[in-house]
Amino acid sequence: MTTGWTLSPEPADSPAALALWRAYYTEMSDRWYQVHEGRDTPPEELEREVVAANDHATLAPPSGLLLLGRYAGEPAGTAGIRLFAGGDAAQGPAAELKRLFVRKEARGTGGGPLLLAAAEVAARALGARAVLLDTRDDLTEAWSLYERNGYERTAPHNDDSYAERWYRKRL
């Protein structure tokens, strides 16, 4: 059910994109703290990490793109794609999926699969022949979505300290 969703490219530093980035990071950080420490992220750490984790420039043309999804006209989700520098020459260029996120209020409306499919189209347009991504074990909704959509688990392609699962899909 994707009725009510519209997708369009968005500058990663636009007010709508930044608000969704803050919501994404807050939820991801709070979930990690809940699993590992039984509490939400301390506010001062959240502010520091939101700034430190800023990778807006990598989600801009010519080597990246941020898609913003609106549900019922309101910003409700994002999917970023960027060319991956550490690709395997034998398998062709790869892109990396970043910030696939749907606000809680819009979950269950088809936005996740829609954003994922649009990110794959964007990756192809950038010349990628595969999409890579990483996620955490506790983000069951995320890795379940990826597996349902043809992503296969792989060896790590980065050294992100929070990543626990790595995936790849040939385009």
Distance, CA of 131 to CA of 76 (rounded, Å): 23
Residue, of 49 and 21, whose pLDDT is higher? 21
Average pLDDT over residues 5-27: 92
8 A C-beta contact, residue 131 and residue 168: yes
pTM recorded for the entire structure = 0.90
Neighbours of 130 (CB within 10 A): 20
Confidence of residue 113 (pLDDT cuts 50, 70, 90): very high
Average pLDDT over residues 127-137: 95
8 A C-beta contact, residue 26 and residue 41: yes
8 A C-beta contact, residue 9 and residue 114: no
Residue 2: per-residue pLDDT: 57
8 A C-beta contact, residue 145 and residue 113: yes
pLDDT for residue 52 is more than 70: no
Average pLDDT over residues 157-168: 90
Max intra-chain CA distance, the chain: 45
Average pLDDT over residues 90-112: 91
Average pLDDT over residues 12-16: 91
8 A C-beta contact, residue 168 and residue 92: no
pLDDT for residue 88 is more than 80: no
H helix runs in the chain, sequence order: 15-37, 43-52, 111-125, 140-148
